[in-house]
């Protein structure tokens, strides 16, 4: 049923609604719906998870909305133990395509593919009658230990924002709304509803909020979901600064803010902060809100505003419905394979051990349970009950029909006696050992962070042991995020699929045997050891506060600044071919705040097979005014090349993306001076570079006050001249005397007022000096507004 209703009619409806009806409208109905209002003919809408597949719980959505059972039913999903098998865990969930999870898909750096994912998810939502899918999740992968990092895309906000925008556009252009989540700083699952992420404003703006802002600007999601955690000691669902000042006033967002499920602790406070919709239904929270409106603690205007936003959302949702839609699950399975194939990252390939050539092999030994029970997704509310699952061992057998392939579990090697002897003999006789490794299943998911970065039970030790016997051990990893690899130097090849979805088994086999040339690149840094993780010293927080001690230096920004060698750097991934970069040009040598600069360069496939290369552009400011990372990602492109082929690649970069945030000025600013654009195959493999000049206001390092050291006042000629004129006039000085005075002041470590008073007495009062400096600040502020 569509709902053709004009804005005027919607406003009219609002005037007819009672307070109770409005309160019901801004609260959920059951676990997954908004409320229908039969008196006024207002329809409902239906939402469900998740971030890489549709989780349609038959009992919860189609069953009776029995309030007593709701919470238990909801928690049973969040706490589901996937290790007991997807079927038993999701028996009451409709089968839907399980696509590669966020941390996997992002390695494709492929925005067209991300859009296709959105389209496919929309088609399945349409077939199930779902109006809003509760994703994508775009929190920054600050630490690989984070339980939900498998849902999220990257440690970098630009890449995160671009992928999210593509997924959202794919969904929403097909009539299904997105929920950009979890706003903001849900970067760990430790005490996730009480822990406060304590983040300095620059890091918030430049890293943690930036991905959300980018996705919102590019794709305008229907809803944004506030997170469970507190941010700088305020519950995000109740944070007026976050939900109103930043999200709406600064970014101009006009959609609905929905709470995370039971994330609201104080409903009136959340309503006043700008959290429109409270999910799921809670009788007590509805009552709290009703009382607060009656008491005037929440104004009718505030309630009306949220109510109207939700009515508009319901209209959008109803009008997006495609009646009798059917999803083509076979096509989507093929898409899940293609996505996995584009996302697999080849991390090591000693002596071109891969691809395997079946005609040259007699025996392959496959090790690890994940070869027969593939680990394709994380656990928690994002999980999907797959329509079908490609089994790696079967796929391998299909691609190497003449090869003798045997399979052993890790336990076989620990069994002692004849089983162990058989397994070891198989390894010794094999031409290649394919080791399917994984992290603990069911643990690394929603609700709990990992405790370490090792593989599950004994796998690290067994890989080490087998690689001491066999030169060709190929490790295939299914992990939520980075793992450590104590055995990395001793194995022949490593590839990582992360949680690659239901088609990963086939994609892995294609990569192993070369019908797919791997082209994925990492979207996070892999540390050598857990202690190298940025923020390690203050993780996971204590006393309900988690201080993000690395500030803006998240991920590669940290490893670069500290000159730490990672196990594998951000942006890294190998191919079966090789690429050369050349002829970098930029279309302007000077840029300013309104520029869009185009970089162009050639990439040549210098190897013997077709392949894709993901080229990255980083910006490196030479003399930043504030502390800044050495380099930051500013653009990327993925190019497909036949052997010998050269293509010219163009990447456009807007000046706005080159800015940093100055909390003192409360503005985004451009650094004046030289800036080098680096074009690289990874963040640690820069191939070409070009320096341009940035024209921007040269700003004082700090906002000036009477205690500022004089050198700060003289930092810029403009301010120095103003100050000189002020002294001349107030102290009645000649030109020569004024210059002497400035010279004297320049060497003082005392504040500017005390310094002047020391020589000239109290002629200029503190208040007068303060007023002068304020006007100087303002003058520079004016310049600032123009420049930024």
> Could you tell me the smallest distance in angstroms from the CB atom of residue 55 to ligand BGC?
8
Helix (H) or strand (E) holding 620, with range, is strand 611-621
C-alpha to C-alpha distance for 673 and 695, rounded to whole angstroms: 7
The pair of three-digit structure tokens given for residue 125, joined into one six-digit string: 């939502």
| Distance separating alpha carbons of residues 674 and 650, to the nearest angstrom | 22
Q: Work out the burial of residue 470: count CB atoms within 10 Å of its CB; fewer than 13 is exposed, 13-18 middle, 19 or more buried.
A: buried
CA–CA distance, 471 with 486 (Å, rounded to integer): 16
> What is the enclosing helix (H) or strand (E) of 318?
helix 300-320
Quick one: 134 or 246, whose CB is closer to ligand BGC?
134
What DSSP designation does 106 have?
G
281 binds ligand BGC (CB under 6 A): no
Helix (H, G, I), strand (E, B) or coil at 669: strand
Based on the shown chain and the rule CB under 6 A, indicate whether residue 570 belongs to the binding site for ligand BGC.
no
Task: Give the sign of the dihedral formed by CA 732, CA 737, CA 776, CA 760.
Answer: negative
Shortest distance in whole angstroms from residue 47 CB to ligand BGC = 8
Name the residue among 330, 327, 339, 387 with its Cα closest to residue 120. Answer: 327
29 sits near ligand BGC (criterion: CB under 6 A): no
Binder of ligand BGC out of 162, 239, 260, 678 (CB under 6 A): 260
What x-and-dash track marks residues 733-762 binding ligand BGC by CB under 6 A? Answer: ------------------------------
DSSP 8-class letter at 477: E
Per annotation, catalytic residue among 260, 444, 662, 671:
260
Residue 613 near residue 681 (C-beta atoms within 8 A): yes
Cβ(531)–Cβ(511) below 8 Å: no
Q: Which is nearer to ligand BGC, 378 or 503 (CB)?
A: 378
Based on the shown chain and the rule CB under 6 A, indicate whether residue 463 belongs to the binding site for ligand BGC. no
Q: Of 117 and 637, which CB lies nearer to ligand BGC in the complex structure?
A: 117
Closer residue to ligand BGC (CB): 102 or 635 = 102
Residue 257 in contact with residue 224, Cβ under 8 Å? yes
Q: What is the rounded CA–CA span in Å between residue 109 and residue 96?
A: 24
CB of 264 to ligand BGC, least distance (A): 12
CB-nearer residue toward ligand BGC: 445 or 518: 445
State in angstroms the smallest separation of the CB of 406 from ligand BGC.
Answer: 42
Q: Which residues contact 732 (CB under 8 A, 6 or more apart)?
A: none
Q: Which is nearer to ligand BGC, 237 or 507 (CB)?
A: 237
For β-strands 234-235 and 230-231, DSSP reports them as antiparallel
| CB 254 to ligand BGC: min, Å | 22
The sign of the torsion formed by the CA atoms of 294, 299, 304, 310 equals negative
141 is a site residue for ligand BGC (CB under 6 A) = no
Residues of this chain, 41-60, that bind ligand BGC according to CB under 6 A: 49
Sign of CA dihedral 582, 588, 593, 595: negative
Q: Give the residue, chosen from 29, 181, 521, 753, that forms a contact with ligand BGC under the rule CB under 6 A.
A: 181
Beta bridge partners of 632: 619
Residue 534 structure tokens: 């940025």
Residues between 292 and 321 that touch ligand BGC (CB under 6 A) = none
Q: How far is the CB of 50 from ligand BGC (least distance, A)?
A: 7
If the CB atoms of residues 236 and 387 are measured against ligand BGC, the closer one turns out to be 236
- Residues 379-398 close enough to bind ligand BGC by CB under 6 A: 381
What is the footprint of ligand BGC within residues 77-96 (CB under 6 A)? 78
Q: By CB under 6 A, how many residues form the interface with ligand BGC? A: 7
DSSP line for 163-202? HHHHHHHHHHTTT-EEEEEEETT----TTTTT-EEE--HH
Q: Closest approach of Cβ 179 to ligand BGC, in Å?
A: 7
230 is an interface residue for ligand BGC by CB under 6 A: no
- How many other C-beta atoms are found inside a 10 Å radius of the C-beta of residue 513? 19
| Least distance from ligand BGC to the Cβ atom of residue 52, Å | 12
Where b means 16+ CB within 10 Å and e means fewer, 703-736 reads bbebebbbebbbbbeebeebbbebbbeebebeee
> Taking the complex as a whole, how short is the minimal distance between the CB of residue 571 and ligand BGC, in angstroms?
28
Give residue 370's Cα distance to chain centre: 27
* Interstrand relation of 256-258 and 404-408 (parallel, antiparallel or unpaired): unpaired
Q: How far is the CB of 319 from ligand BGC (least distance, A)?
A: 23
What single-letter DSSP state applies at residue 535?
T
Output the smallest distance, CB 627 to ligand BGC, in A.
33
Q: Which two tokens stand for residue 401?
A: 């029909």
- For the chain, give me the number of helices (H) and strands (E)? 26, 27
Decide: is 71 part of the binding site for ligand BGC (CB under 6 A): no
Give DSSP secondary structure letters for 377-427. --SSTT----S----HHHHHHHH-TTSEEEEE-HHHHHS-HHHHHHHHHHH
* Subset of residues 109 to 138 that bind ligand BGC, contact rule: CB under 6 A: 134
Smallest gap from Cβ 470 to ligand BGC, in A, equals 43
Nearest CB to ligand BGC, comparing residues 231 and 619? 231
CB of 393 to ligand BGC, least distance (A): 33
- Sequence length of the chain is 788
Whichever of 134 and 369 has its CB closer to ligand BGC, that residue is: 134
Tokens 């643990």 correspond to what residue?
443
In the complex with ligand BGC, the residue whose CB is nearer, 146 or 522, is: 146
Which one of 261, 572, 636, 723 is in contact with ligand BGC (CB under 6 A)? 261
What DSSP line would sit under 56-93, residue for residue? Answer: -BHHHHHS---HHHHHHHHHHHHT--GGG-HHHHTTTB
The nearer residue to ligand BGC, 78 or 415, going by C-beta atoms, is 78
- Which residue carries 């998870």 as its tokens? 49
**CA 702, 708, 709, 714 torsion-angle sign:** positive
Cα–Cα distance between 569 and 229 in angstroms, integer?
29
Partners of 28 in beta bridges = 34
260 catalytic residue (yes or no)? yes
Smaller CB separation from ligand BGC, 178 or 757? 178
Torsion, CA 23, CA 25, CA 31, CA 32, rounded to 10: -160
Nearer to ligand BGC, 77 or 367 (CB): 77
Active-site residue list? 260
Residues that bind ligand BGC (CB under 6 A): 49, 78, 134, 181, 260-261, 381
């Amino acid at each position: 049923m569509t709902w053709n209703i004009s804005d005027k009619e919607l406003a009219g409806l609002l005037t007819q609604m009672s307070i109770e009806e409005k309160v019901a409208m801004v609260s959920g109905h059951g676990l997954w719906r908004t409320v229908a209002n039969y008196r006024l003919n207002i329809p409902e809408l239906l939402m469900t998870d998740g971030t890489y597949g549709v989780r349609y719980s038959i009992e919860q959505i189609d069953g009776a909305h029995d309030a007593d059972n709701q919470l238990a039913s909801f928690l049973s999903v969040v706490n589901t133990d996937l290790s007991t098998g997807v079927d038993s865990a999701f028996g009451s969930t409709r089968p839907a395509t399980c696509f590669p999870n966020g941390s996997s898909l992002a390695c494709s750096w492929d925005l067209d593919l991300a859009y296709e994912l959105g389209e496919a998810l929309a088609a399945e939502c349409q077939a199930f009658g779902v109006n809003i899918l509760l994703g994508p999740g775009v929190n920054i992968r600050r630490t690989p230990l984070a339980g939900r990092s498998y849902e999220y895309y990257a440690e970098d906000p630009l890449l995160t924002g671009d992928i999210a925008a593509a997924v959202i556009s794919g969904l929403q252009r097909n009539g299904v709304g997105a929920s950009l989540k979890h706003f903001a700083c849900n970067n760990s699952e430790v005490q996730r509803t009480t822990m406060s992420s304590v983040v300095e404003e620059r890091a918030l703006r430049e890293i943690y909020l930036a991905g959300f802002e980018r996705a919102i600007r590019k794709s305008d999601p229907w809803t944004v979901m506030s997170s469970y955690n507190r941010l700088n000691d305020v519950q995000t669902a109740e944070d007026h600064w976050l939900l109103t000042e930043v999200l709406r006033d600064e970014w101009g967002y006009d959609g609905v803010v929905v709470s995370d499920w039971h994330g609201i602790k104080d409903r009136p406070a959340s309503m006043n902060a700008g959290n429109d919709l409270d999910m799921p239904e809670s009788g007590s929270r509805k009552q709290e809100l009703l009382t607060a409106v009656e008491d005037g603690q929440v104004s009718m205007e505030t309630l009306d505003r949220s109510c109207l936003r939700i009515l508009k959302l319901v209209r959008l949702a109803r009008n997006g419905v495609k009646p009798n839609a059917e999803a083509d699950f076979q096509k989507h399975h093929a898409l899940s394979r293609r996505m996995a194939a584009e996302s697999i990252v080849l991390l090591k390939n000693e002596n071109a051990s891969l691809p395997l050539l079946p005609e040259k092999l007699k025996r392959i030994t496959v090790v690890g349970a994940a070869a027969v029970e593939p680990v394709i997704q994380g656990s928690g509310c994002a999980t999907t009950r797959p329509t079908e699952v490609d089994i790696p061992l079967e796929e391998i057998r299909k691609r190497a029909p003449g090869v003798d392939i045997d399979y052993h579990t890790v336990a076989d090697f620990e069994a002692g006696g004849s089983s162990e002897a058989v397994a070891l003999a198989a390894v010794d006789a094999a031409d290649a050992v394919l080791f399917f490794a994984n992290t603990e299943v069911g643990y690394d998911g929603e609700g709990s962070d990992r405790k370490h970065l090792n593989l599950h039970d004994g796998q690290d030790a067994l890989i080490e042991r087998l690689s001491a016997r066999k030169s060709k051990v190929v490790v295939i990893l299914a992990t939520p995020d980075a793992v450590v690899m104590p055995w990395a130097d001793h194995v022949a090849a490593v590839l990582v699929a992360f949680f690659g979805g239901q088609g990963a088994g086939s994609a892995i086999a294609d990569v192993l045997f070369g019908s797919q040339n791997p082209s994925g690149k990492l979207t996070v840094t892999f540390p050598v050891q857990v202690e190298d993780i940025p923020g390690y010293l203050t993780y996971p927080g204590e006393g309900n506060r988690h201080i993000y001690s690395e500030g803006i230096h998240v991920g590669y920004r940290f490893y670069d600044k500290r000159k730490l060698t990672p196990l594998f750097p951000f942006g890294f991934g190998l191919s079966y071919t090789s690429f050369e970069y050349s002829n970098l040009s930029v279309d302007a040598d000077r840029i300013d705040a309104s520029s869009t600069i185009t970089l162009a360069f050639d990439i040549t496939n210098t190897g013997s097979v077709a392949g894709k290369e993901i080229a990255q552009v980083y910006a490196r400011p030479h003399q930043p005014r504030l502390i800044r990372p050495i380099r930051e990602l500013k653009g990327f492109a993925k190019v497909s090349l036949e052997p010998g082929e050269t293509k010219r690649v163009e990447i456009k970069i807007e000046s706005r993306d080159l800015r940093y945030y100055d909390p003192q000025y409360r503005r985004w600013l451009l650094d004046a001076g030289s800036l080098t654009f680096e074009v690289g195959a990874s963040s640690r493999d820069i191939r070409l570079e070009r320096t341009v000049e940035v024209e921007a206001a040269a700003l004082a390092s700090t906002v000036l006050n009477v205690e500022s050291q004089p050198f700060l006042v003289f930092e810029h000629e403009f301010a120095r001249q103003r100050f000189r004129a002020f002294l001349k006039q107030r102290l009645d000085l000649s030109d020569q005397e004024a210059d002497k005075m400035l010279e004297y002041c320049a060497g003082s470590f005392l504040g500017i007022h005390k310094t002047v008073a020391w020589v000239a007495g109290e002629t200029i009062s503190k208040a007068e000096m303060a007023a002068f400096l304020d006007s100087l600040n303002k003058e520079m502020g004016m310049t600032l507004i123009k420049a930024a």
